[in-house]
Amino acid sequence: MNLKKPIDVLIAESAESGEGTLKRTLGNTSLIALGIGAIIGAGLFSLTGIAAAENAGPAVTLSFVLAALACAFAGLCYAEFASMIPVAGSAYTYSYATMGEFMAWIIGWDLVLEYALGAATVAVSWSRYLLEFFHKYGIDLPHNLLVSPFESLKLGDGTFIAKGEGIVNLPAIFIIILLSAVLIRGTKESATMNNILVIVKVAVVLIFIALGWSHINSANHEPYIPANTGVFGEFGWSGIARGAAVVFFAFIGFDAVSTAAQEAKNPKKGMPIGILGSLVICTLLYVLFAHVMTGLVNYKEFAGDAKPAATAFAVTGYSFLQDGLIIAILAGYTSVMLVMLMGQSRVFYTMSKDGLLPTFFSSIHHKFRTPWKTNIFFMFFVSIFAGFVPVSDLGHMVSIGTLFAFSLVCIGVLVLRKTDPNRERPFRTPLVPFVPILGIITCVGLMATLPLESWERLIIWMALGIAIYFFYGKKNSVLGKKQAGNS
């Protein structure tokens, strides 16, 4: 029996208030800031150079536009669901209403890959930039506490830490513990911290654009679309398309806004504004940033450069912003982790309320009104991955988990338009079925480009999740027990 949770029940649950529920503190501005906080990470500062040097040249700006369109397909579908079903579970909740409990469990379990492992991946990269920043000011930490025993690391001064020499990535664990403590303290406090971080990193991006614009050398933009080398994906229009696949992951994170639906003051209006507003703002910043960056330095110089944004900005002579770029990257990573950890706890909170996970995960702090036990659980869970697992292994799992979630949300819109066409939709995805279908094709196509090991790990992770569902979730499902009692 495929149990589906009635949308009316979901809406009624989201309207509940009191000590055992989440506190509504987020306005439209905070929701947009959450989206920007999740989207703009250091990917902007690194992926832009990679895509320009290897795929699109100066036309990497067009790659960003294409990637934004691909995200917009999924974003429009998320906006319809988030306005119609303003519940904290994101894609998990939408799947429960459209495709039933088993698919909802699958997507909820899959979201651990996007949110929890996403936070772990970012924590590892955050620690790298922190070390570089410290080193500039003569602060050096013990080498064996900077890297997991399963990977190597080259420090800014050229010191090489071989695989097996490290014990644990302590800075990565530290930032996860710190941000988990902020989340336990309260959603309003977390949103305030996120708003500050967003202001810092957006300010640096705007300064980069404003100061760099007058130093653009138009010769660096010629030809704007370099001729294809004869290999698909190496420049020309195929290079722009391949570049879009590379920079697509710089947009990931906007969906985390939907996990805060039960903490939004006016979710029916605020959810679409938060999701689509953050996407539009980030797309505009990305295109302008890429245009300036490829205008300051010839795109060929970004090949193999780990810090292409710093290389480009050095042309301007404004050396003071070199430190500013590192601070912006640290701020970018910190806000991404904050939103991902918040999103993960809200998904497990909702699954626990449905009985699919133990009540431990839906325990609300009597004072702070946050799912504090879930925050503590993921503080340990994410810390283990951040401290001991190589970042390369984490990255692909995050990507495949995210794209899988996007695909199911697009499918959900198609299903619900067919099964419940008269349902009130404060925001309607335009051009249905074309937009959802294009979203599915885009996401599945990008999933197909990922390595085979990513698929193998996804299958293993899902097999573990299915086992937990049949041994625990199915037996304890609130909806299942209610249906059994009525039969």
Q: Are 31 and 273 in contact (CB under 8 A)?
A: yes
| Residue 47, pLDDT score | 77
| Residue 69, pLDDT score | 84
Q: Are 7 and 484 in contact (CB under 8 A)?
A: no
| Residue 393, pLDDT score | 62
Residue 166 placed within a domain: yes
The CATH number for 448's domain is 1.20.1740.10
What six digits make up the tokens of 361? 């995960």
Q: Are 58 and 294 in contact (CB under 8 A)?
A: yes
Residue 12 placed within a domain: no
Residue 10 placed within a domain: no
Residue 484 placed within a domain: no
Give this prediction's pTM. Answer: 0.79
How far apart CA 145 and CA 170 sit, in angstroms, is 5
Q: What is the pLDDT along the chain (487 residues), one digit of tens a residue?
A: 568 888 888 777 666 655 555 666 777 888 888 888 878 876 677 778 888 988 889 999 999 998 888 888 988 998 888 888 777 667 788 888 888 899 889 988 988 887 888 888 888 888 888 887 887 777 877 878 888 787 777 665 667 777 777 788 999 999 999 999 988 887 677 778 878 888 888 888 898 899 899 899 999 999 999 998 888 888 898 888 888 877 877 787 777 777 776 777 777 788 788 888 989 999 999 999 999 999 999 998 888 665 677 778 878 887 667 777 788 888 888 888 888 898 888 888 888 988 999 998 888 877 777 888 999 999 999 999 889 877 666 666 777 788 888 888 899 899 989 988 888 888 899 998 999 999 999 888 877 777 788 788 888 989 999 999 999 999 999 888 888 776 5
CA 381, distance to chain mean position in Å, is 18
- Burial environment of residue 108 by CB neighbours within 10 A (0 to 12, 13 to 18, 19 or more): buried
| Residue 186, pLDDT score | 73
| Residue 216, pLDDT score | 92
Q: Are 121 and 390 in contact (CB under 8 A)?
A: no
Residue 456 placed within a domain: yes
Q: State the residue range of the domain holding 231.
A: 20-478
Residue with tokens 């340990």: 380
For the chain, the domain total comes to: 1
Determine the angle formed by the axes of helices 43-51 and 320-353, rounding to 10 degrees. Answer: 110
3-state SS of the chain is CCCCCCHHHHHHHHCCCCCCCCCCCECHHHHHHHHHHHHCCCHHHHHHHHHHHHHHHHHHHHHHHHHHHHHHHHHHHHHHHHHHCCCCCCHHHHHHHHCCHHHHHHHHHHHHHHHHHHHHHHHHHHHHHHHHHHHHCCCCCCHHHECCCCCCEECCCCCEECCCCCCCEHHHHHHHHHHHHHHHHCHHHHHHHHHHHHHHHHHHHHHHHHHHHCCCCHHHHCCCCCCCCCCCCCCHHHHHHHHHHHHHHHCCCHHHHHHHHHHECCHHHHHHHHHHHHHHHHHHHHHHHHHHHHHHCCHHHHCCCCCHHHHHHHHHCCCHHHHHHHHHHHHHHHHHHHHHHHHHHHHHHHHHHCCCCCHHHHCCCCCCCCCHHHHHHHHHHHHHHHHHCCHHHHHHHHHHHHHHHHHHHHHHHHHHHHHCCCCCCCCCCCCCCHHHHHHHHHHHHHHHCCCHHHHHHHHHHHHHHHHHHHHHHHHHCHHHHHHHHHC
The angle formed by the CA atoms of residues 261, 267 and 270, to the nearest 5 degrees, is 110
Residue 100 placed within a domain: yes
Residue 13 placed within a domain: no
Residue 154 bridge partners (DSSP): 160
Q: Are 279 and 251 in contact (CB under 8 A)?
A: yes
Residue 4 placed within a domain: no
How far apart CA 1 and CA 100 sit, in angstroms, is 9
How far apart CA 291 and CA 294 sit, in angstroms, is 6
Q: Are 356 and 105 in contact (CB under 8 A)?
A: yes
Q: Are 401 and 454 in contact (CB under 8 A)?
A: no
